[in-house]
Amino acid sequence: EVQLVESGGGLVQPGGSLRLSCAVSGFTFSSFAMSWVRQVPGKGLEWVSSIRGSGDHTYFADSVKGRFTISRDNSKNMLYLQMNSLRAEDTAVYYCAKDLGLLLYYFDFWGQGTLVTVSS
Amino acid sequence: QSALTQPASVSGSPGQSITISCTGPSSDVGGYNYVSWYQQHPGKAPKLMIYDVTNRPSGVSNRFSGSKSGNTASLTISGLQAEDEAEYYCSSYTSTSVVFGGGTKLTVL
């Protein structure tokens, strides 16, 4: 059974940092791209970042480029999102999501989400 | 990247069919056959329902179907059931990433 479990969300002040983690099981982790997608409560979905299976290529939305870093540890089946210089508009539920393939931007499995709140 | 355009809400009675549209520029929806649809129930994670415009992942009911014409993609749900009531999002590959629609609330009357 495929499982994705996010952790690391919480309350952080503007300008602060937070690292999200996603523990994965149930599939060959290194064979699939992974992504982070966020959702402001009550609003729509926004793609944040993706990383290829080998971890050698990463991609970011313009809204987070230069502030967020995505990484993965294939030996531990873990996905990470390092978020720096956080802003109020980064407040959202952050989902990690498995790609259907190498990097198709089709997300066939999702975690339950972790809430990040940026506020003073 | 601007969000794709979806109607805010649609409704239908059990057993009926409904269609949700998703419109974007030629740089995404119109330019690629890489459109997908997600269903999201309140408090739950999204679920992939359609990919590559028309394909259903394993386990998704054949009551769900997708199509595309020009810059507009569509999701059709036939034989509406109470459990279909949810928010639906389209998404499309762009040249560098993926963009989502604003979402459509489906109400089953």
- Report pLDDT digits (tens) over A7-45: 999 999 999 999 999 999 999 999 999 999 999 999 999
Is B54's Cβ below 8 Å from some Cβ in A? no
Q: In A, which residues are within 8 Å of B89 by CB distance? A: 44-45
Cα-based angle A80, A16, A67 (whole degrees, multiple of 5) = 55
Query: What residue in B sits closest to A114 (Cα-Cα)?
Result: B45
Is A105's Cβ below 8 Å from some Cβ in B? yes
CB contact under 8 A, B45 and A62: no
What is the average pLDDT across A77-82?
A: 98
- Report pLDDT digits (tens) over B21-53: 999 876 777 778 899 999 999 999 999 999 999
pLDDT for the residue B1: 58
Do A4 and A22 touch, CB atoms closer than 8 A? yes
The C-alpha atoms of residue A3 and residue A22 are separated, in whole angstroms, by 10
The proportion of chain B whose per-residue pLDDT surpasses 70, expressed as a percent, equals 97
